Amino acid sequence: MSQPPPSARRSAVHLLDEILGEGRLLADLLGSSALEDLAPADRARAQRLATETLRGLERADRLLARHLRKAPPLHVRNILRLGTVELCTGGDAHGVVNDLVALVAGHRRYGRLKGLVNAVLRKMTSEGPRTWPDLRVPRLPRWLRAPLLDAYGAQAVAAMERAHFAGAPLDLTARDEPETLAARLGGTLLPTGTIRLANGGQVSALPGFRDGAFWVQDAAAALPARLLAPQEGEAALDLCAAPGGKTLQMAAAGARVTAVDLSAPRMARVEENLARTGLSATCVVGDALEYAGGPFDAILLDAPCSATGTIRRHPDLPHARDGSGIGALIDLQRALLDHALGLLAPGGRLVFCTCSLLPDEGECQVEDALARHPGLRVDRAAGDRPGVDPSWMTEEGGLRLRPDYWPEAGGMDGFYMACLRHG
């Protein structure tokens, strides 16, 4: 029996199979051309269907458990999950059911289960939309929820989970004149200077994209470079630079930027964005731990981390990871921070940041660095930036951002950042 032709739903199920069955991250799948056979519009739709299914996975499984005596094979279960989420969130019942039944019918191993898929999804067309809103907000997996409860308490974690379930709007950083660009795009200018679009659509089709007026960057991710505040003509270093938003910020400020990253494909994207925006930086593909340039007036180290602060944008992460690699990441962060401090010019400053919600990858790293390096201090004044809430300041002097902040405006990614100086 031949496979159906490529479609958005079929490709979305493939993404779910890889993420939930093989522990692969969505970004890696997209980077390996998992959707290359689709037209751009279908590619975007497949990605949206997969991410919405991952966000609603717990609810979908609760509803499906009422109609399944035993769990079907993962591929079939993912078809049912995707269909359940679509049906419960406004999808056209006829199109969803027919398409997904045809999808399983065309599978050489699971075609015999088309009757099950048809029966379950038809039940879901009437029951699902009515029951869906009454189910609890999906919770984080235990490996992540437990340490977050210890760090922030149940009320804050529940608020973060609501933010994750809601997803994220599109945030942009303007090359210059953010007020003008916000008006041009019909967006909201956030207090920290980021432009937010509730429904951004295809980024490359937005006015100003082709002439490099902006780049995509979450409001929280834009703050580390603003803490660093690079100046015209300063020698600045962006360690672990990809995807490059912070490099662009520093270059737009007039600094002489060197960007270092281990990944050649990701650095190629940085170079593309530099060309599109008309900005310049020296791009180096290599291990940040071995980079020996400088000295630099300003260094930004966005260290590799668990990325647990980005779940509202990347709902695959808690399903594809189990927390087992965090210890090694903490060791790498410590080594990178020590190495980066050695590249600073006298009187220079370094911003250390991670897109993690775990204090071990943020506050604790800075506290330990202060203990290892006599004379090192946190520049608390660096955090006094437009739009920064004083309540975000942590005991050691950094900033802790969380997904549940700014709930009325659409939230932000989880981040930690601190500006360090010698003496």
Q: Are residues 111 and 35 in the same domain?
A: yes
Q: What is the pLDDT of residue 3?
A: 54
Domain-located, residue 144: no
Domain-located, residue 310: yes
Residue 68 has phi, psi (to 5 degrees) of: -120, 120
Domain end position, chosen among 90, 110, 134: 134
Q: Are residues 203 and 244 in the same domain?
A: no
Q: Are residues 276 and 341 in the same domain?
A: yes
Domain that holds residue 208: 169-217
Q: Under a CB-based contact definition with an 8 Å cutoff, are residues 203 and 276 in contact?
A: no
Q: Are residues 324 and 349 in the same domain?
A: yes
Q: Are residues 231 and 191 in the same domain?
A: no
| CB neighbour list of residue 225: distance below 8 Å, 6 or more residues apart | 245, 246, 249, 250, 253, 300, 351
Q: Which two tokens stand for residue 160?
A: 């973060």
| Chain position carrying tokens 């930690």 | 416
Q: Are residues 302 and 415 in the same domain?
A: yes
Q: Are residues 13 and 104 in the same domain?
A: yes
Q: Are residues 230 and 378 in the same domain?
A: yes
Q: What is the pLDDT of residue 1?
A: 43
Domain-located, residue 59: yes
- The CATH number assigned to the domain holding 101 equals 1.10.940.10
Q: Are residues 233 and 200 in the same domain?
A: no
Domain-located, residue 153: no
Q: Are residues 308 and 267 in the same domain?
A: yes
Domain-located, residue 164: no
Q: Under a CB-based contact definition with an 8 Å cutoff, are residues 239 and 267 in contact?
A: no
Q: Rounded to whole angstroms, how far apart are CA atoms 100 and 97? A: 5
Angle between helices 114-131 and 74-88 (to 10 degrees): 30
Longest dimension (CA), the chain: 72
Domain end position, chosen among 134, 157, 181: 134
pTM above 0.85, yes or no: yes
Q: How many CB atoms lie within 10 A of CB 104?
A: 24
Angle between helices 40-55 and 74-88 (to 10 degrees): 90
Domain-located, residue 21: yes
Pairing of strands 296-302, 344-354: parallel
- The CATH number assigned to the domain holding 213 equals 3.30.70
Q: Are residues 251 and 300 in the same domain?
A: yes
Q: Rounded to whole angstroms, how far apart are CA atoms 196 and 216? A: 10
Domain end position, chosen among 154, 189, 217: 217
Q: Which residues are catalytic?
A: 355
- The CATH number assigned to the domain holding 280 equals 3.40.50.150
Please state the domain count of the chain.
3
325: exposed, middle or buried (Cβ count in 10 Å: 0-12, 13-18, 19+): exposed
Q: Are residues 228 and 291 in the same domain?
A: yes
Distances (CA, A) of 190 to 60, 182, 198, 411, 418: 34, 10, 12, 11, 21
Q: Rounded to whole angstroms, how far apart are CA atoms 289 and 284? A: 13
Domain-located, residue 257: yes
Domain-located, residue 160: no
| Intervals of the chain under pLDDT 50 | 1-2
